[in-house]
């Protein structure tokens, strides 16, 4: 099953994605739907005429997650290109909901940075409350998966040893286009990123050091995860900052982020006009 959040004049509607269109499920976003214990049955039971959605109407699949926990250095290829050793435990940081934009929204390059980079990521969407979960409980707590690009301001990220300030810039993180339930995601799904049709990142989720249940269990040891919370699982090799010379996003480019079985984010890149 695939679920999306659609912008409407008075808020959001959750929809089930079908071949040829969408089926309306009800008001609110996917995160609100996941707060219902019967969310899966409720979403599957809805029937009705298919409707079409303009790309600009697709919202971040969860519009106001309570938590966005991100994982750094979690693909072997990216760890190697950054000159790091394989970690023994996940490297965690956070984003705030204000960072999110829709799957087809424009990324406006902040005037404060000339080093805006791309990071294609698979995202875990939590579907039930979990604290200190073992692997089986962690798997059961996963409602599904979506796609995110952890667009990063490298010059701000590396101002200090803490990464937050380069990672959660407002309106820089596309999320979507839908959430797929775990049965829809291939076990070794391909993940990729292109800039103006040039493939800059390409790998599979099999290259993850810590997989989704590992991460849910680990994060739930620290804090209770709630329905609609997100865990961004890290990026693969090919980021612009690791290239020689480094490459960063430029005005007029188009960034496309794909995960097999879920879909893609199509992100026009524009420079914010100078006041």
pLDDT tens digits along 214-260: 999 999 999 999 999 999 999 999 999 999 999 999 999 999 999 99
pLDDT tens digits along 45-66: 989 899 999 999 999 999 999 9
Q: Is residue 246 part of a domain?
A: yes
Q: Is residue 109 part of a domain?
A: yes
Q: Is residue 182 part of a domain?
A: yes
**For residue 177, cis peptide bond before it (omega within 30 degrees of 0):** yes
Q: Is residue 23 part of a domain?
A: no
Residues 6+ apart with CB under 8 A from 167: 70, 93, 94, 95, 99, 150, 152, 153, 157
Q: Is residue 46 part of a domain?
A: no
The count of structural domains within the chain is: 1
SS3 state of residue 52? coil
SS3 state of residue 91? strand
Query: In this predicted structure, what is the pLDDT of residue 81?
Result: 81
Q: Which of 142, 131, 105, 113 is nearest to 231 (CA)?
A: 142
**What count of other Cβ atoms lies within 10 Å of the Cβ of residue 148?**
29
Residues 6+ apart with CB under 8 A from 65: 31, 97, 228, 229, 230
CATH number at residue 175: 3.90.850.10
pLDDT class of 274 with cuts at 50, 70, 90:
low
Residues 6+ apart with CB under 8 A from 243: none
**Residue 190 domain boundaries:** 60-271
Query: In this predicted structure, what is the pLDDT of residue 218?
Result: 98
Q: Is residue 12 part of a domain?
A: no
Q: Is residue 168 part of a domain?
A: yes
pLDDT tens digits along 152-168: 999 999 999 999 999 99
Q: Which of 148, 144, 208, 147 is nearest to 180 (CA)?
A: 144
Q: Is residue 9 part of a domain?
A: no
- Is 0.75 topped by the overall pTM? yes
């Amino acid at each position: 099953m695939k679920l999306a959040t659609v912008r409407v004049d008075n808020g959001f509607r959750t929809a089930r994605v079908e071949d040829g269109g969408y089926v309306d499920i009800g008001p609110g976003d996917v995160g609100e739907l996941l707060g219902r214990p019967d969310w899966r049955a409720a979403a599957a039971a809805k029937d009705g005429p298919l409707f079409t959605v303009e790309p600009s109407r697709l919202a971040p699949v969860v519009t106001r997650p309570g938590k966005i926990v991100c994982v750094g250095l979690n693909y072997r290829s990216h760890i190697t290109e950054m000159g790091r050793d394989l970690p023994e435990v996940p490297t965690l940081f956070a984003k705030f909901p204000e960072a999110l934009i829709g799957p087809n929204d424009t990324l406006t390059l902040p005037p404060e940075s000339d080093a805006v980079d791309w990071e294609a990521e698979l995202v875990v969407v939590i579907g039930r409350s979990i604290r200190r979960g073992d692997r089986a409980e962690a798997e059961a707590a996963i409602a599904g998966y979506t796609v995110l690009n952890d667009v990063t301001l490298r010059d701000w990220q590396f101002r200090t040893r803490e990464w937050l300030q380069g990672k959660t810039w407002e309106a820089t993180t596309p999320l979507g286009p839908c959430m797929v339930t775990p049965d829809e995601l291939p076990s070794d799904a391909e993940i990729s990123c292109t800039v103006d049709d040039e493939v800059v990142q390409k790998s599979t989720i099999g290259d993850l050091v810590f997989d989704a249940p590992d991460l849910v269990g680990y994060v739930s040891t620290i804090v209770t995860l709630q329905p609609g919370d997100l865990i961004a699982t890290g990026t693969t090799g090919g980021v612009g900052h690791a290239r020689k010379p480094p490459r960063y996003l430029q005005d007029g480019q188009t960034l496309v982020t794909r995960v097999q079985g879920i879909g893609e984010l199509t992100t026009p890149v524009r420079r914010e006009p100078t006041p």
